[in-house]
Amino acid sequence: MAVSLTVLLLIPAICFVGGFFSTLAGLGGGLFTLASTSLLLPVSVVVPLNGVLILAGQITRVAQFYRHINWEITRPFIPGAMIGAALGSYVYFELPEVLIAFILGCVLLWFCWIPPSQAVRNLAAKIPYPFFWVGLVHTFLSTISGAGVLFQSVMVNSKLPKEGIVATIAGTLLFMALFKSIGYLLAGFDYTPYVSVIALSWVMGISGTMIGKMCLDVLSDIWFRLLIKVVISLFSLRLFWTVGAHLWTV
């Protein structure tokens, strides 16, 4: 099946904007790409395709910010992401999407806007390899719904500088995207009809990422964290809107 000229032109442009915003804000590019491409392609195609479209931009961000990656977070996240991708691709489209959307929206707003209390910090300190579990849950949610954002909402309250946040998110989610794409492939999704779209999207995603890095230095740390919180909140509200729309039509 050949893709239309509209899809061939618009999706790479979308990936350019997504790459720019992911570098500038630390997240949002994947969400923007997911939401925008869902207007051009069926959801059953968009969800598996999303991780592949933004892959080159993620690799570029890892190369740009490699020395800022916090490996104490990234290392345990990787095996968790592998398990989450396997579980998510196994139950792909099997769980009620409206339930996942509601739970995800609540979790995102909680982690984003409510700083952890000392009691919560003490409890988290007793959990072995906490970012292993974050990786597992985040990747599972991302695999079945197209976007997780749990990890980003946790990272926004971390003590890392903005370069460290961008680098660590890019490093962890690069592995997640690879695991998800392999999972969809093994589950039977055919990427062949979209090779030309993917290739052009990689070129534009890299360009957007490079320009985003140039603009990162002009954004203060305070505004950087606020921008992340606003993006997460908008995504959460969109999830609640989806839930409400679904319940209204039932």
Torsion of Cα atoms, 211 then 216 then 135 then 203, to 10°: 0
pLDDT of 155 > 80? The answer is: no
* pLDDT value of position 121: 55
C-alpha dihedral (78, 81, 85, 91), degrees to nearest 10: 160
- What confidence category does residue 22 fall into, taking pLDDT thresholds of 50, 70 and 90? confident
Q: Which residues contact 224 (CB under 8 A, 6 or more apart)?
A: 25, 26, 162, 165
pLDDT tens-digit series, residues 208-246: 888 887 776 666 667 766 776 777 677 778 778 878 888
pLDDT tens digits for range 40-90: 887 677 778 888 888 888 888 888 888 888 888 888 888 888 898 888 877
Domain residues of the chain, as ranges? 5-249
pLDDT of residue 249: 78
156 versus 202: which is more confidently predicted? 202
Tell me the C-alpha to C-alpha distance, in Å, between residue 69 and each of 1, 151, 171.
Answer: 40, 14, 7
In angstroms, how far is the first alpha carbon of the chain from the final one? 34
Q: In b/e form, how buried is each residue of 107-143, taking b as 16+ CB within 10 angstroms? A: bbbebbeeeeeeeeeeeeeeeeebbbebbbbbbbbbb
pLDDT tens readout for residues 200-214: 999 998 888 888 877
Q: How confident is the model at residue 168 (pLDDT cuts 50, 70, 90)?
A: confident
pLDDT > 90 in the chain, percent? 3
Q: Which of 48-62, 120-134, 174-188 has the lowest mean pLDDT?
A: 120-134
Q: In whole numbers, what is the pLDDT of the chain averaged over residues?
A: 77
Q: Are 131 and 77 in contact, with CB atoms under 8 Å apart?
A: yes
Q: What's the pLDDT band for 167 if we cut at 50, 70, 90?
A: confident
47 three-class SS = helix
The predicted pLDDT at position 202 comes to 92
Higher-confidence position of 146 and 9: 9
- Residue 203: its pLDDT value, please? 92
CB 216 within 8 A of CB 162: yes
Of residues 250 and 26, which shows the higher confidence score? 250
- Where are the extended beta strands (E) located within the chain? none
Cα separation of 205 and 19, whole Å? 5
